[in-house]
Amino acid sequence: MTVPDDTDFAILRLLAEDAGQGAGAIGRACGLSQPAAWRRIKRLRDAGVIGGQRLVLDAEALGFGVTVFLGVKLATKGRVSLEDFERAVSAIPEVQTVEHVLGLYDYRLRVVARDLPDFERVLRRRIMTLPGAGEVEANVLLSEERRPGPLG
């Protein structure tokens, strides 16, 4: 796509806060006509800058009181294929995100659970039994904030 300008960045900031806003509202906020805003949003979407939409839920209100990040090291590199591990770990419903990383750990997992005993159950029955899983480090999430990032 053409290089995004400050107006595109302003649109992205608005949509990253609330993707439900129509082109009319976005246009008013950015000083564009509704059709002009619509064209820019479409361009950003077609170029893949907007990678999709996410429904933001209150995990705690839905009974998921604990979020834990796990650093997982593979114990038997070479013998277990990364694909097998990735397929198995991605199939665990409580595992929300799986990132392949380089450094102290091989994978970084975001796990939700109802409470700490529930987390222990997931850890023992589902994570520790994964093919190739070795050392695991757990950190309990206390707070998180998304930042707007380098937009303008």
Interaction site with other proteins (CB under 8 A): 4, 12, 15-20, 47-64, 69, 71, 86, 89-90, 93-105, 107-108, 110, 112, 137-151
Helices 34-46 and 23-30, packing angle to 10 deg: 110
Toward other proteins, which CB reaches closer, 76 or 96? 96
CB of 139 to other proteins, least distance (A): 3
Tell me the closest approach of the beta carbon of residue 45 to other proteins, in angstroms: 9
Q: Which tokens sit at 73?
A: 């090291």
User: CA nearest 88: which of 109, 68, 67?
Assistant: 109
Shortest separation between residue 35's beta carbon and other proteins, angstroms:
20
Q: Is the Cβ of residue 32 or residue 94 nearer to other proteins in the bound state?
A: 94
Residue number with CB closer to other proteins (36 or 98): 98
Shortest distance, CB of residue 93 to other proteins, whole angstroms?
Answer: 4
Dig out the tokens for 75 from the structure.
């114990």
Is residue 78 within 8 Å of 134, Cβ to Cβ?
no
Q: Which is nearer to other proteins, 78 or 150 (CB)?
A: 150
In the complex, minimum distance from the CB of residue 7 to other proteins, in angstroms, rounded to a whole number: 14
Sole residue written with tokens 């820019």: 40
- CA–CA–CA angle 41, 44, 49 (5° rounding): 135
Which CB, 99 or 128, lies closer to other proteins? Answer: 99
Residue 58 burial (C-beta neighbours within 10 Å; 0-12, 13-18, 19+): exposed
